[in-house]
Amino acid sequence: MAAHGLELDRSLSLKDLGVSAFRGQNAELGRLGYFLQAIKKGIVPPGSFLLVESLDRISRQTVLSAIDTLRLILSEGVTLVTLTDGAAYTKGTIETNFPQLMMAFLTFARANEESSIKAMRVQEAWDRKKRDAATTPLTKVCPAWLRLRDDRSGFEVIPGRGEVVRRVFEMAAEGIGQHAIAAKLNTEGVPPFGDPRRKPGQHWHKSYVAKMLFGDAALGTYVPHSGQHVDGRIVRTPWAPVLGYYPAVVDHELARRARLVTGPGKNPKRGRHAALPVRNILAGLARCPLCDGTMTRVSKGSRAKAGKPYLVCAKAKAGAGCAYRAVPYEQVEVAILQRADELVLKDTLEDQDPELDAFLAEKADLVRRRENLLELVETGDASVRERFLSLGERLKAVEASVTDRTVHREANREPLVESRMGDLRAALKADPFDLEVANTALRLCADSVVVDYPAGDLLVSWRHGGVTDLTFAWPDE
């Protein structure tokens, strides 16, 4: 850079860790896609330089798809430089320098072939495991009421959980609905199973009860799937079921009665992956002010006589302990749409990070306290030395947090943040109004929206830092 009189712009230093360049996900969903969007919006001006380790970091797709990605970058006046060999690619050189064009073709072809062979070998290994599933467990992943034996010879039922599964089927067979089953388990304080690979569940959900009732695992059956990438997504195709892969916790007669009473129309496996229309502008964002759990949209009455929709705490709806308060959804949506300019103010883009400020203050206090103890440590007092070391460990943790928050703040100073906020304003004021577009734009900009009904406020926490307080109703007296 110094040799060419260039200045490195660190605000767009992009790393796609774990994002596939073979499937093209980096150009669609990853940080490369972020960069391509910034080019189109003019945030990255013509004459800029993009530094990459090698061409295969841009794409490992088929040659023509990879060349299209390269052409898109170069056609906007951006020069691409590969750091391994110092080669510079521009629209002019790629059109006139035939050896350079052929080198790009060969590099992309080699990268795609290597990735194809690797993917094929991985797929063959998994296919072999699936064929042997009748005698050898594929992985330790299993339903939450089971666990892999210590000798990895098979699975065993976790004490107490098998009884809960059987009880769910028995309640369903008696005509108790899925929502009522979840509420009953919550009311009785039955611990939710949760997934050990994820954050533990806080309460039982209707969706998990339905998955348990209509899945095959409770009967001891495992259905392996093969996955194929189609149009940027994975399409899963079921294989022949493996009977007896898991230990059965219910018999077929009980399962038949439970499913018969529940009704085939409620089978969640039928079209559960279909895209449902967005009916809530805060979908995926609304949080309860009391328990910080999610809030969901509900309508009172049957479908034919459904009344006005409300937002309620999902935990309270499931009977898991939070206060049940129905917040009129219309009040929330009207406030957001009518006060879009107030919501998306310029000052929401200011450099605000209370969490970083708190860490910096704690760091300064820890440094001061350690300095005060430094002379006493030399006296050999064991308790003082232990305290000094304890402060040192906490200081390391705080310094790491300061670094993380600083990196986060720098990343969100990028011009694209302002562009996304502009897109949000446009979506909220569009005529005709598109609820799904508005929800998507809001989710790109905000982490959460606390529906603080006691105060009558919406507290919007922005991804780039800061909180906007928007009044939507009169506060409770």
Taking only the tens place, the pLDDT of each residue in 52-108 is 888 877 777 788 888 888 888 888 888 888 888 888 899 899 888 888 888 888 888
The mean-pLDDT minimum among 12-21, 96-105, 144-153, 256-265 falls in 12-21
Whether 159 is in a domain gets the answer yes
**What is the average per-residue pLDDT within 249-266?**
73
pLDDT at 286 over 90: yes
Q: Which two tokens stand for residue 5?
A: 């009189």
Given a contact cutoff of 8 angstroms between Cβ atoms, the answer to whether 157 and 163 are in contact is no
pLDDT at 231 over 60: no
Q: Which of 193-197, 279-283, 387-391 has the highest mean pLDDT?
A: 279-283
Confidence (pLDDT) at 128: 61
Confidence (pLDDT) at 272: 39
- 459, 368: one domain: yes
Helix (H, G, I), strand (E, B) or coil at 185: helix
Question: Is the pTM here over 0.85, yes or no?
Answer: no
- 106, 191: one domain: no
DSSP3 helix / strand / coil % (the chain, rounded to 5): 45, 15, 40
Whether 124 is in a domain gets the answer no
Whether 273 is in a domain gets the answer no
The mean-pLDDT minimum among 182-191, 194-203, 422-431 falls in 194-203
Whether 120 is in a domain gets the answer no
pLDDT at 217 over 70: yes
Given a contact cutoff of 8 angstroms between Cβ atoms, the answer to whether 412 and 13 are in contact is no
Whether 92 is in a domain gets the answer yes
**What is the average per-residue pLDDT within 378-404?**
78
- For 365-426, give the DSSP string: HHHHHHHHHHHHHTTT-HHHHHHHHHHHHHHHHHHHHHHHHHHHHHHTTSHHHHHHHHHHHH
- 377, 460: one domain: yes
**What is the average per-residue pLDDT within 188-192?**
90
The Cα 442–Cα 340 span in angstroms is 11
Given a contact cutoff of 8 angstroms between Cβ atoms, the answer to whether 220 and 247 are in contact is yes
Q: Which two tokens stand for residue 405?
A: 């928050």
* Percent of the chain predicted with pLDDT > 90: 20
* Percent of the chain predicted with pLDDT > 70: 72
The mean-pLDDT minimum among 88-92, 267-271, 345-349 falls in 267-271
What would the pLDDT profile of 158-176 be if each residue is shown by its tens digit?
Answer: 999 999 999 999 998 887 8
- 192, 295: one domain: no
Confidence (pLDDT) at 146: 92
**What is the average per-residue pLDDT within 385-391?**
81
Q: Which domain holds residue 436?
A: 342-471
Residue (of 99, 146, 114) closest to 246 by Cα position: 146
Confidence (pLDDT) at 379: 67
Whether 274 is in a domain gets the answer no
- 230, 315: one domain: no
- 158, 172: one domain: yes
- 99, 21: one domain: yes
- 355, 465: one domain: yes
Last residue of a domain, one of 277, 310, 339: 339
CATH number, residue 243 = 3.90.1750
- 369, 428: one domain: yes
Residue 327 banded pLDDT, cuts 50, 70, 90: very high
Quote the mean pLDDT of the chain: 78
Last residue of a domain, one of 234, 266, 298: 266
341 against 16, higher pLDDT: 341
Residue 388 banded pLDDT, cuts 50, 70, 90: confident
Last residue of a domain, one of 235, 266, 297: 266
Whether 356 is in a domain gets the answer yes
pLDDT at 345 over 80: no
- 253, 162: one domain: yes
Residue 350 banded pLDDT, cuts 50, 70, 90: very low
Q: Give the chain's domain count.
A: 4
Whether 277 is in a domain gets the answer no
- 447, 366: one domain: yes
Residue 305 banded pLDDT, cuts 50, 70, 90: very low
- 303, 368: one domain: no
